[in-house]
Amino acid sequence: MEFDGFSEIPWDFKAHPDKNANGQDNKSVIVNDRLAITKAIKQFGGAGIILAIGDAKYNDEDRSFQVWHQEFKGGLSNFEKQRILRKASSRLRKTAFRLREIKIILLDDKKVQGLGSFQKGFRNSDGSPRNAKVLLDLENITAEKIIKF
């Protein structure tokens, strides 16, 4: 199981822009993989999400941040080279984030069963199959606590 933190239960941390790169409302968030969350709930009685929500800025038109980041990490990865060969688009990168609120969400078996899935059948950067991830619908999930800034 891979989570970002642990305090009584495993926690997944996410920075979530409330608008996507095209300026449309971003009402769902992809969190940890379903198998890891299910195992965590069985082992620890629950899993948590700490969701930081705010305004994001994305790459400029010439993608200068993306170019810098690519150079910083030593060039194109094999995953990127394969993406280019497939002529698949590259997502815009977040270059800044202004926090507006934090939502604390606790997951149990019942909540997880009612949540959607995402990325089933996708690949990891090394080409291995990726487990389906849990997709939270922010309009239909109750946060235990909300902290506004």
For residue 92, give the nearest of 54, 64, 126, 120 by alpha carbon: 64
The domain total for the chain is 1
* Structure confidence at residue 1 (pLDDT): 59
Residue 123 in any domain: the answer is yes
Residue 84 in any domain: the answer is no
Q: Spell out the alpha helix ranges (H) of 98-147.
A: 109-113
Residue-wise pLDDT tens digits, 10-62? 999 999 999 998 899 999 999 988 999 999 999 999 999 999 999 999 887 78
- What token pair was written down for 33? 């993989």
Structure letter (DSSP) for residue 127: S
Residue-wise pLDDT tens digits, 103-144? 999 999 999 988 988 877 677 667 777 788 999 999 999 999
**Residue 21 domain boundaries:** 5-58+100-148
